Amino acid sequence: MGDNSVSSEDPPELQDVLDALDDPACRTILRETIEPMTANELLDACDIPKSTLYRKLELLSSASLVREQETINPGGGRVTYYERSFEDVTISMDDTGTFSVNVDRPPQSTDERLADIWSMMGDEV
């Protein structure tokens, strides 16, 4: 999933955001991901099938509404956490009738920026 996610600096596509917000399972995931959660924690919290969860996380990631962070598990391997990556979503229409979407994001800490860099490096390997 990590290689298909949109960078937090890239503006998401309007249709991707609308599709994600229109989906009840995606909205449930967004409510749960205020704090980082693993897929297994989300499965328990959201009560949706595993295959559905990963499809919805992909949709939310494409809309840049959820970010994933990989950490090193002390026992070996990696653990992926999912977290809501926005504070506010605004959809507007200009004078020409063109719709646009603006996603306001919280500032990232140094640790979060380093975790993102680490995750991107892992995607390249």
* Cross-strand partners of 61: none
- pTM given for the model: 0.76
State the residue for tokens 């890239």: 10
CB of 101 closer than 8 Å to CB of 91: yes
Quick check: helix, strand or coil at residue 36? Answer: coil
State the Cα–Cα distance between residues 119 and 123, nearest whole angstrom.
6
pLDDT digits (tens, 9 = 90+) for 78-115: 899 999 999 999 999 999 999 999 888 888 777 766 76
* pLDDT higher at 12 or 42: 42
What was the pLDDT predicted at 5? 43
Within 10 Å of residue 45's Cβ, how many Cβ atoms?
14
